[in-house]
Amino acid sequence: MTRLVAPIALFPALVLTLGCTDDAGADATTTFTMTSAPGDGDGDMSETAGDGDGDPAGDGDGDPTTGDGDGDPALCGDGLVEGDEECDDGNPTNGDACTNACTAAVCGDGIVHEGVEMCDDGNDVNDDGCTNMCMSGTCGDGMLQGDEECDDGNDDHTDDCAACRVPICGDGYIWAGNEQCDDGNGDDTDDCIACLSATCGDGYVHALLEECDDGNFENTDDCATCFNAVCGDGHVHAGVEECDDGNEVDDDGCANDCTASLYWAVGVQTNVSAQALTGWTECWSGLYGTPSPNLSNTILSQNCTGSKLLEACRQVGSPTYAVLAMGDRADVLFPTGNGVNATHQGNGVAWYYSNSHSMGFAQGGNSVDRNSCDVDNVNPQFRMCWHTGGDAITSGYRCGGTFLNGNNGWERKIFHAP
């Protein structure tokens, strides 16, 4: 029997007449129709689309690996991903997602892949300006790089690392806990001076607000409360003014030209304003509970040397003296000894003085009871006494009718006048 085979792929429908001759010589004719669907050309029974190379699925080159159908090795750059290639974009650009070696772009390969990496230095050093994530180092990323002095990984410019710099005065950032201000300039006449808020007494003249600033709180020199000293400012300019009561009353003991007419009163005075003591200069001050040595050798012979003396007492901080009396130096310091009722009369005051017993006064004509200070209670508001001993002013004792041994809430003062 003879079989006739026609390529089915060439005929969508084919009618065949086959003749068969058997050994008996009998002729028989059989007619049939065979319909063929599109196939893959590989000669196997699967008529689905294929590659024509005779294996189930491939590239048409007769080998089992996927390729280009020509039987050659894979070629990088031909646009076909073949063999061991990770990619093949068919272009000569080495900086895109697929390198010229047909490998996928990876951070650390030393090539900056545009649109994928910011940088790529090809090393594992994380602080050289290009991180191991191929990101350019920036201030605030927490890694010390390039010319950064510090990098704490935050945007807080008030801590110990401001804009990746160690904070200093003048960098324009206020360093919390260390600076009051920082205006980023070296101008010492504005609101911020050496990173401190400008104040009177800082030694810098604050423009438009101060006339002067000598860096001290002394109001008897040329600069008083940061204004040039002038008559009428309420501060006595030492060596220039005799007095300055800060008012325009010309007959109150301090004239409007800051010349003084000496405040003078006969007898013991009570409740006298400190402003009224024109012409007098304080030469000693001490608290009732604090001893002061060298009474005759220092206080009286070096500090309080005027021809007139005034003794006074008051509560600390009070603008008014509770009791005071004044007189010629010879009367105030007349040595009365330690007698119980020993006094010396002068300017309407009963004075007593001893550098080893007590010193003080009572109203003129009144007796005293010195034990060692005066404890007499007749007209007590006009009495004042301080203990002395060993040529020192020791503790209290009284200021008017108030007994003050050891009380540092009260103070004692001596003034003198030429």
Asked if residue 256 and residue 290 are part of one domain, the reply reads no
**Which tens digits make up the pLDDT trace of 209-266?**
889 999 898 888 999 889 999 999 989 898 898 888 888 887 777 889 998 788 999 9
- Cβ neighbours of residue 370 closer than 8 Å, sequence gap 6 or more: 338, 339, 340, 341, 342, 352, 357, 358, 385
pLDDT at 174 over 50: yes
User: Mean per-residue pLDDT for 383-395?
Assistant: 96
SS3 assignment for the chain: CCCCCCCHHHCCEEEEEEEEECCCCCEEEEEEEEECCCCCCCCCCCCCCCCCCCCCCCCCCCCCCCCCCCCCCCCCCCCCCCCCCCCCCCCCCCCCCECCCCCECCCCCCCCCCCCCCCCCCCCCCCCCECCCCCECCCCCCCCCCCCCCCCCCCCCCCCCECCECCCCCCCCCCCCCCCCCCCCCCCCCCEECCEECCCCCCCCCCCCCCCCCCCCCCCCCEECCEECCCCCCCCCCCCCCCCCCCCCCCCCECCCCCECCCCCCCCEEEEEHHHCCCCEEEEEEECCCCECCHHHHHHHHHCCCCEEEEEEEECCCCEEEEEEEEEHHHHCCCCCCCCCCCEEECCEEEEECCCCEEEEEECCCCCCECCCECCCCCHHHCEEEEECCCCEEEEEEECCEECCCCCCEEEEEEEEC
Asked if residue 302 and residue 385 are part of one domain, the reply reads yes
User: Mean per-residue pLDDT for 175-201?
Assistant: 89
Q: How many CB atoms lie within 10 A of CB 292?
A: 17
**Which tens digits make up the pLDDT trace of 47-86?**
444 555 555 555 555 555 555 555 566 789 898 988 888 8
Asked if residue 315 and residue 233 are part of one domain, the reply reads no
Asked if residue 325 and residue 407 are part of one domain, the reply reads yes
Residue 341: domain span = 285-417
Residue 160, both tokens: 């110990």
Angle at 390 between CA 387 and CA 391, to 5 degrees: 80
pLDDT at 59: 54
pLDDT at 324 over 70: yes
pLDDT at 154 over 60: yes
- Position 139 in a domain: no
Which range (205-214, 295-304, 374-383) has the least confidence? 205-214
Q: For all residues of the chain together, what is the average pLDDT?
A: 83
Which range (2-6, 87-91, 195-199) has the least confidence? 2-6
- Domains held by the chain: number: 3
Asked if residue 408 and residue 299 are part of one domain, the reply reads yes
Whether 174 and 184 have beta carbons less than 8 Å apart is answered as no
Asked if residue 247 and residue 208 are part of one domain, the reply reads yes
User: Mean per-residue pLDDT for 283-299?
Assistant: 95
Higher pLDDT among residues 252 and 17, named by residue: 252
- Position 378 in a domain: yes
pLDDT at 64: 52
d(CA 370, CA 126): 90
Domain C-terminal end among 244, 260, 276: 260
pLDDT at 7 over 50: no
pLDDT at 102 over 70: yes
pLDDT at 329: 97
- Position 143 in a domain: no
d(CA 375, CA 381): 12
Choose among 369, 338, 367, 339: nearest CA to 354.
Answer: 338
- Position 238 in a domain: yes
- Cβ neighbours of residue 382 closer than 8 Å, sequence gap 6 or more: 267, 268, 270, 323, 362, 363, 366, 400
pLDDT at 114 over 80: no
pLDDT at 20: 36
**Which tens digits make up the pLDDT trace of 30-44?**
343 444 444 455 455
pLDDT at 3: 38
At 393, phi and psi to the nearest 5? -80, 115
pLDDT at 335 over 70: yes
Higher pLDDT among residues 51 and 171, named by residue: 171
d(CA 376, CA 365): 13
pLDDT at 298 over 70: yes
Asked if residue 348 and residue 255 are part of one domain, the reply reads no
pLDDT at 267: 97
pLDDT at 2 over 80: no
- Position 274 in a domain: no
d(CA 279, CA 417): 7
pLDDT band, very low/low/confident/very high, at 366 (cuts 50, 70, 90): very high
Instruction: Please give the share of the chain, as a percent, with pLDDT higher than 90.
Output: 45
Instruction: Please give the share of the chain, as a percent, with pLDDT higher than 70.
Output: 82
- Position 166 in a domain: no
Angle at 105 between CA 103 and CA 107, to 5 degrees: 135
d(CA 199, CA 206): 8
Q: How far is CA 50 from CA 27, 56, 58, 62, in A?
A: 41, 7, 8, 12
Asked if residue 290 and residue 255 are part of one domain, the reply reads no
pLDDT at 23 over 70: no
Asked if residue 247 and residue 300 are part of one domain, the reply reads no
Asked if residue 314 and residue 253 are part of one domain, the reply reads no
User: Mean per-residue pLDDT for 7-15?
Assistant: 38
pLDDT at 14 over 50: no
- Position 101 in a domain: no
Asked if residue 412 and residue 303 are part of one domain, the reply reads yes
pLDDT at 26 over 50: no
Asked if residue 289 and residue 246 are part of one domain, the reply reads no
pLDDT at 50: 52
- Position 408 in a domain: yes
